[in-house]
Amino acid sequence: MTFIDKYPDPLSESTGLTPAHRKSKRSSFKERQRAERDQLIKVLKESPGKRDARNFLKHFDTPTSTNEDEIAAVKLKRAARDAVETAHHNEWRLTQTGVNLGNLYEPTKAIQDNPVFTQRPLPERPIAENVEPLHLALVKLRQPQMLDDGTLGELALTLSQMARLGLNIAVVVDCDDDAVLDTLDITPAWIETITEQSARIVDALEEYNEPGAFEVDHALVYAPVTGDIPSKVQVRGRVEVKHSHLLLSPIQDGIIPVIPPWAYDSELKRVRVRPDEVLLALTREFAGITAQREKEQGISEARGTLEKPLLDRIIILDPAGGLPSDKRQDGHIFVNLEAEYEDVRNELQGVSFGEQAPITSGRSKTEMSANRHVDNLDAVQKALKLLPPSSSALIITPTEAASSSQVAFLPTTSTGVRTRRSKNPLIHNLLTDKPMTSSSLPAPLVSSRRAEPAALNPATFLKRGIPVTLVPDPRISPWRPPSPENPSIDLANDPRVNFPKLVDLIEDSFRRKLDARHYLERIKGRVAGLIVAGDYEGGAICTWETPPGLETAPPPDSPLWVPYLDKFAVLTSSQGSGGVADIVWNALTLSCFPHGLVWRSRTSNPVNKWYFERTLGMWNLPDGQWTMFWTTNGVVEEWAEKQARITHHGDGKAKDMCRWDAYVDVCGGIAPSWADNRRPD
């Protein structure tokens, strides 16, 4: 007897639906889902949040017709949509879909206009006959036994709303406690817990997801991995998907599969496995790695012709919440795994969680909590390495994920006015592909705006991301003013710098021609360092400046050496869609100049509101053309003390130049190096 003979298709057996009936049901569900999404699309097209709208529509609004006239009309409609430059906000509550978008697309402050964290713009998808891509989110729900029925129901509502917006869901059940398991023994108590919680999750999802939910517990097989070649990408595991149609059929029908953490060995014996192994097995399957490996090995077992979903999200719902940080009260908001994985992992292993009472086997809650965060980080990092750069992950508490989902059931006052609702983090992430707040905002500002102060750790958003290069590396040698022992780098001739690409980045970002010769001459001997994100997708050039009136250079330890942000550039193709700005900014203010720096910007520059959110102060220079920004503590207080000494004590030494004076002189005296000699658009 084969595996499939012993465990036949659960959809046919339990529902009594023939393939033809299921196809009809699938078509009906897709039509309803498309109609509901059309309502969302209409609102997004009229929304002032055009960047978020375009990214969402480009990814999820895919035409299915092959009629040339219809395709041309769709493309014309897309072009018209993308050309819209102004729009009026229309209040909308999505009563048909019941999806709560909070106030996401109302006119927003700079904090809500932050870049989307994708590495590059999403490509237009090819138009194919009767094919609508299956976008998928893998959700691992940890310790559902700790959730009451009300919270579980609200969480199920949120997941069903995501499905209505075009993101299909598959749920992995994780009932393990915080203790690190040395063995994976199957006990009757554990089986009972998994069975009971899987049933609770299915029941909750069926309450809100019209196509329903279904437990799929026979799709996975277990086989120890032996003689595997070490690799940074985990393309094999002890747990694999053997019968993908048991998962793909429910997903295509709009049904949410719920997968328990067990598999079957070669003797058809049930084996307990770690939920993270299940998550990675599903990731490999949906990324096409399992099928490719079997093809290379000559395995001819039919895997079916069902369309593979596009795995867009990895979502870990864990009571421990997002990743904590010893540098920010609000934890890690965004993690660029390519550049930060090792540092964050090391930090989590040594992070302080406060005094906790010891528990079983001498292990403290602190240790187990830290291990849980490390496990979540590792699972996400391994999964995203298998997926395209556009895929992302979110680690969040189930309580946060369930919040603000009951839009359709909120009471209305006698005047018909509803109270302002907070955004649901999962819905917000689906529509914007970014976290609730920008990671480059100073921690105190973010902390004061937290909608869920009771949350253990706010959500963490993760991307595979892009590398960040610092020249020189401040972790090895901090950026210091130039001296004979510490000469300035030469951007044009340093082998670590691709100067032509750097010039292209600056010209593309500022949309004007740089006089490279004049620029190099102006910054000669003053370059503090260079930051490069990705393949020159973004960057920053910092210099050490001195007030123009000084006849000789001050000593290296003088406060008259001003740390100056000379150029901050992001490719236009990555502005608003790459998260590059936040990545460069964090490197600039956390690694390179943690004690502060200063810069100027045209007073009419629309980016100034973004700068303002991230500075300690701003001041319009007397010439009326420039606004000065700084992140240095105590600059204004130092100037005020100087004025007080002059006024009250007649202190002659107080007339000496202070940092404020140096900042103003430097920002007012920088000579532009643009070849066109015009003001920017």
Q: What is the crossing angle of helices 149-164 and 425-432, to 10°? A: 20
Stretch (H or E) spanning 172: strand 167-174
Cis peptide before 500 (omega within 30 of 0): no
Tell whether the model's pLDDT for residue 496 goes beyond 80. yes
Q: What is the 3-state secondary structure (H, E, C) of 509-576?
A: HHCCCECHHHHHHHHCCCEEEEEEECCCCEEEEEEEECCCCCCCCCCCCCCCCEEEEEEEEECCCCCC
Q: What is the rounded distance in angstroms from the CA atom of residue 596 to the CA atom of residue 401?
A: 36
Average pLDDT over residues 76-82: 46
Angle at the Cα of 114 from the Cα atoms of 112 and 117, rounded to 5 degrees: 125
Tell whether the model's pLDDT for residue 259 goes beyond 80. yes
Q: Please write the tens of the pLDDT for every residue from 279-316.
A: 999 999 999 887 666 665 555 454 555 677 899 999 99
Cα–Cα distance list, 555 to 48, 321, 484, 511 (Å): 51, 49, 11, 38
Q: Please write the tens of the pLDDT for every residue from 42-57.
A: 555 544 455 666 666 6
Q: Which residue has the tokens 């509550």?
A: 93
Predicted local confidence at residue 172, as pLDDT? 98
Q: Please write the tens of the pLDDT for every residue from 558-597.
A: 888 999 999 999 999 888 666 899 999 999 999 999 999 9
Rounding to the nearest 10 degrees, give the CA dihedral for residues 88, 90, 91, 93: -130
Q: Please write the tens of the pLDDT for every residue from 523-567.
A: 999 999 999 999 999 999 999 999 987 878 888 888 889 999 999
The tokens of 628 are what? 């000065």
CATH number of 468-669: 3.40.630.30
Predicted local confidence at residue 260, as pLDDT? 97
The tokens of 491 are what? 């951007």
Contact (Cβ atoms closer than 8 angstroms) between residue 88 and residue 415: no
Predicted local confidence at residue 484, as pLDDT? 87
Q: What is the rounded distance in angstroms from the CA atom of residue 202 to the CA atom of residue 197?
A: 9
Any idea what DSSP says for residue 587?
Answer: I
Tell whether the model's pLDDT for residue 228 goes beyond 90. no
Strands laid side by side in the 220-222 sheet: 239-241, 220-222, 262-264, 270-272
Predicted local confidence at residue 522, as pLDDT? 95
Average pLDDT over residues 473-498: 93
Strands laid side by side in the 527-533 sheet: 468-471, 527-533, 538-545, 562-570, 598-602, 626-630, 617-620
Average pLDDT over residues 603-610: 92
Average pLDDT over residues 24-45: 59
Q: Please write the tens of the pLDDT for every residue from 401-429.
A: 998 644 434 444 444 444 445 678 999 88
Low-confidence winner among 435-439, 460-464, 592-596 (lowest mean pLDDT)? 435-439
High-pLDDT (> 90) share of the chain, %:
49
Angle at the Cα of 315 from the Cα atoms of 105 and 277, rounded to 5 degrees: 165
Out of 20-34, 47-61, 393-407, 471-485, give the one with best mean pLDDT.
471-485
Q: What is the rounded distance in angstroms from the CA atom of residue 587 to the CA atom of residue 531?
A: 8
pTM of the complete model beyond 0.85: no
- Please choose, from the candidates 204, 209, 429, 391, the residue with its C-alpha nearest in 3D space to the C-alpha of residue 309: 391
Contact (Cβ atoms closer than 8 angstroms) between residue 126 and residue 394: no
Contact (Cβ atoms closer than 8 angstroms) between residue 376 and residue 318: yes
Confirm or reject CATH 1.25.40.10 for domain 135-224+238-294+307-350+369-399, answering yes or no.
Answer: no
Q: Which residue has the higher pLDDT, 122 or 599?
A: 599
Q: Please write the tens of the pLDDT for every residue from 3-16.
A: 344 444 544 444 44
Q: What is the rounded distance in angstroms from the CA atom of residue 522 to the CA atom of residue 300?
A: 66
Predicted local confidence at residue 58, as pLDDT? 67
Q: What is the rounded distance in angstroms from the CA atom of residue 529 to the CA atom of residue 94?
A: 50
Predicted local confidence at residue 4, as pLDDT? 42
Residue partners of 95: CB distance under 8 A and separation at least 6: 408
Stretch (H or E) spanning 618: strand 617-620
Cα–Cα distance list, 221 to 98, 187, 217, 273, 319 (Å): 38, 19, 10, 10, 29
High-pLDDT (> 70) share of the chain, %:
67
Mean of the per-residue pLDDT values of the chain: 78
Q: How many CB atoms lie within 10 A of CB 269?
A: 10
Low-confidence winner among 46-60, 153-167, 322-336, 483-497 (lowest mean pLDDT)? 46-60
Q: How far is CA 518 from the centre of its chain?
A: 39
Rounded to whole angstroms, the maximal C-alpha distance in the chain is 100
Residues in a beta bridge with 137: 169, 313
**Where does CATH 3.40.630.30 sit in the chain?**
468-669
Residue 357: φ, ψ to 5°: -80, 140
Predicted local confidence at residue 233, as pLDDT? 74
Residues in a beta bridge with 239: 222
- Relative to beta strand 213-215, strand 256-259 is parallel
**Where does CATH 3.40.1160.10 sit in the chain?**
135-224+238-294+307-350+369-399
Average pLDDT over residues 196-213: 95
Rounding to the nearest 10 degrees, give the CA dihedral for residues 300, 301, 306, 311: -80
Q: Which residue has the tokens 């780098």?
A: 489
Predicted local confidence at residue 42, as pLDDT? 55
Residue 612: φ, ψ to 5°: -60, -40
Q: What is the rounded distance in angstroms from the CA atom of residue 648 to the CA atom of residue 428?
A: 55
Tell whether the model's pLDDT for residue 99 goes beyond 80. no
- Relative to beta strand 626-630, strand 598-602 is antiparallel
Q: How many CB atoms lie within 10 A of CB 164?
A: 22
